[in-house]
Structure 1
Amino acid sequence: MQPAKILQPEPAWPDTAWPDPAWEVEAVLAWHDDNAKAAIRSLLDDCKHLRQQLALAERAISRGMTRGWTPRYERDAL
Protein backbone atom coordinates (compact mmCIF):
# COMPACT_ATOMS: atom_id res chain seq x y z
CA MET A 1 0.00 0.00 0.00
CA GLN A 2 1.35 3.42 -0.97
CA PRO A 3 1.02 6.53 1.18
CA ALA A 4 -1.73 8.97 0.28
CA LYS A 5 -0.70 11.76 -2.02
CA ILE A 6 -0.83 15.15 -0.32
CA LEU A 7 -2.50 17.69 -2.58
CA GLN A 8 -1.29 21.25 -2.46
CA PRO A 9 -3.74 24.06 -3.23
CA GLU A 10 -3.28 25.84 -6.53
CA PRO A 11 -1.84 29.34 -6.07
CA ALA A 12 -4.03 32.25 -7.16
CA TRP A 13 -1.32 33.27 -9.62
CA PRO A 14 1.42 31.00 -10.93
CA ASP A 15 4.93 31.66 -9.67
CA THR A 16 6.06 32.54 -13.16
CA ALA A 17 5.78 36.18 -14.09
CA TRP A 18 2.58 35.99 -16.11
CA PRO A 19 1.42 38.22 -17.49
CA ASP A 20 4.81 39.78 -18.01
CA PRO A 21 4.68 43.34 -16.57
CA ALA A 22 6.98 44.66 -19.30
CA TRP A 23 4.66 43.27 -21.95
CA GLU A 24 1.65 44.84 -20.21
CA VAL A 25 3.29 48.26 -20.25
CA GLU A 26 4.07 47.94 -23.96
CA ALA A 27 0.50 46.79 -24.66
CA VAL A 28 -1.00 49.78 -22.83
CA LEU A 29 1.28 52.20 -24.65
CA ALA A 30 0.52 50.57 -28.00
CA TRP A 31 -3.23 50.81 -27.32
CA HIS A 32 -2.77 54.56 -26.82
CA ASP A 33 -0.43 55.03 -29.83
CA ASP A 34 2.60 55.53 -27.52
CA ASN A 35 0.95 58.51 -25.83
CA ALA A 36 2.05 58.07 -22.21
CA LYS A 37 -0.25 60.78 -20.84
CA ALA A 38 -3.30 59.18 -22.50
CA ALA A 39 -2.28 55.78 -21.11
CA ILE A 40 -1.91 57.17 -17.59
CA ARG A 41 -5.26 58.98 -17.84
CA SER A 42 -6.95 55.79 -18.99
CA LEU A 43 -5.43 53.74 -16.16
CA LEU A 44 -6.43 56.36 -13.59
CA ASP A 45 -9.98 56.34 -14.98
CA ASP A 46 -10.00 52.54 -14.68
CA CYS A 47 -8.86 52.80 -11.04
CA LYS A 48 -11.60 55.34 -10.29
CA HIS A 49 -14.24 53.13 -11.90
CA LEU A 50 -13.10 50.05 -9.99
CA ARG A 51 -13.10 51.96 -6.69
CA GLN A 52 -16.69 53.03 -7.39
CA GLN A 53 -17.65 49.44 -8.16
CA LEU A 54 -16.00 48.30 -4.93
CA ALA A 55 -17.92 50.92 -2.95
CA LEU A 56 -21.19 49.77 -4.52
CA ALA A 57 -20.40 46.13 -3.75
CA GLU A 58 -19.51 47.04 -0.15
CA ARG A 59 -22.96 48.57 0.32
CA ALA A 60 -24.85 45.81 -1.48
CA ILE A 61 -23.26 42.70 0.05
CA SER A 62 -24.09 41.78 3.63
CA ARG A 63 -21.36 41.13 6.22
CA GLY A 64 -22.58 37.57 6.65
CA MET A 65 -22.18 36.85 2.96
CA THR A 66 -18.57 37.98 2.98
CA ARG A 67 -17.82 36.41 6.37
CA GLY A 68 -16.52 39.65 7.79
CA TRP A 69 -14.38 40.59 4.79
CA THR A 70 -14.23 44.30 4.11
CA PRO A 71 -12.66 45.86 1.04
CA ARG A 72 -9.46 47.85 1.20
CA TYR A 73 -9.27 50.79 -1.12
CA GLU A 74 -5.50 51.14 -0.90
CA ARG A 75 -3.14 48.31 -1.73
CA ASP A 76 -0.28 47.27 0.53
CA ALA A 77 2.99 49.12 0.06
CA LEU A 78 5.47 47.24 -2.08
Structure 2
Amino acid sequence: MNPRGSSRQVDDELAEVVAYHKGDMQAAIGTLLQDIRHLRRQLALTEGAMGRGMARGWRPSYDRD
Protein backbone atom coordinates (compact mmCIF):
# COMPACT_ATOMS: atom_id res chain seq x y z
CA MET A 1 0.00 0.00 0.00
CA ASN A 2 1.27 3.44 -0.89
CA PRO A 3 1.22 5.72 2.18
CA ARG A 4 1.12 8.83 -0.01
CA GLY A 5 -2.00 7.62 -1.80
CA SER A 6 -3.67 6.95 1.53
CA SER A 7 -2.79 10.43 2.80
CA ARG A 8 -4.14 11.98 -0.36
CA GLN A 9 -7.39 10.04 0.03
CA VAL A 10 -7.79 11.29 3.62
CA ASP A 11 -7.11 14.85 2.49
CA ASP A 12 -9.76 14.48 -0.23
CA GLU A 13 -12.29 13.12 2.25
CA LEU A 14 -11.62 15.97 4.66
CA ALA A 15 -12.01 18.50 1.87
CA GLU A 16 -15.34 16.93 0.87
CA VAL A 17 -16.69 17.08 4.43
CA VAL A 18 -15.68 20.73 4.84
CA ALA A 19 -17.02 21.65 1.39
CA TYR A 20 -20.35 19.96 2.13
CA HIS A 21 -20.69 22.24 5.17
CA LYS A 22 -19.64 25.30 3.15
CA GLY A 23 -16.42 25.74 5.16
CA ASP A 24 -18.12 25.65 8.57
CA MET A 25 -15.73 23.48 10.59
CA GLN A 26 -18.00 23.35 13.65
CA ALA A 27 -20.89 22.07 11.56
CA ALA A 28 -18.60 19.48 9.94
CA ILE A 29 -17.35 18.24 13.31
CA GLY A 30 -20.89 18.23 14.72
CA THR A 31 -22.14 16.10 11.85
CA LEU A 32 -19.27 13.65 12.24
CA LEU A 33 -19.96 13.34 15.97
CA GLN A 34 -23.65 12.69 15.25
CA ASP A 35 -22.59 9.98 12.78
CA ILE A 36 -20.40 8.37 15.44
CA ARG A 37 -23.26 8.35 17.96
CA HIS A 38 -25.63 6.86 15.38
CA LEU A 39 -23.18 4.11 14.40
CA ARG A 40 -22.49 3.23 18.04
CA ARG A 41 -26.25 2.86 18.63
CA GLN A 42 -26.54 0.68 15.54
CA LEU A 43 -23.64 -1.46 16.76
CA ALA A 44 -25.26 -1.84 20.18
CA LEU A 45 -28.56 -2.90 18.58
CA THR A 46 -26.78 -5.42 16.37
CA GLU A 47 -24.84 -6.81 19.33
CA GLY A 48 -28.07 -7.30 21.25
CA ALA A 49 -29.78 -9.02 18.32
CA MET A 50 -27.04 -11.47 17.38
CA GLY A 51 -26.46 -14.68 19.25
CA ARG A 52 -23.05 -15.71 20.58
CA GLY A 53 -22.95 -18.68 18.22
CA MET A 54 -23.67 -16.53 15.20
CA ALA A 55 -20.39 -14.66 15.56
CA ARG A 56 -18.49 -17.53 17.20
CA GLY A 57 -17.98 -15.56 20.39
CA TRP A 58 -16.88 -12.33 18.69
CA ARG A 59 -18.07 -9.15 20.37
CA PRO A 60 -17.83 -5.70 18.82
CA SER A 61 -15.43 -3.14 20.21
CA TYR A 62 -16.76 0.36 20.69
CA ASP A 63 -13.30 1.94 20.96
CA ARG A 64 -10.38 1.99 18.59
CA ASP A 65 -7.55 -0.39 19.29
TM-score by length of 1: 0.75
Counterpart residue number, 1:4:
none
After superposing on structure 2, the runs of 4+ consecutive aligned residues of structure 1 that deviate more than 3 Å are none
Question: 1:15-49 CA distances to partner (integer Å, 9 max, x unpaired)?
Answer: 24287000000000000001000000000000000
Counterpart residue type for residue 31 of structure 2: S
Among 8, 12, 16, the alignment partner of 1:27 is: 16
- Higher helix fraction (1 or 2): 2
- Gapped regions of structure 2 (runs ≥ 5): none
Q: Gaps (5+ residues) in structure 1?
A: 1-14
TM-score after normalising by structure 2: 0.89
1:22 aligned counterpart, secondary structure? helix
Name the Cα RMSD after superposition: 1.4
- SS of the equivalent of 1:71 reads coil
Percent of aligned positions that are identical = 47
Bigger Cα Rg: 1
Higher relative contact order (CA 8 A, sep 6+): 2
The alignment partner of 1:52 has SS state of: helix
- The residue identity in structure 2 corresponding to 1:69 is W
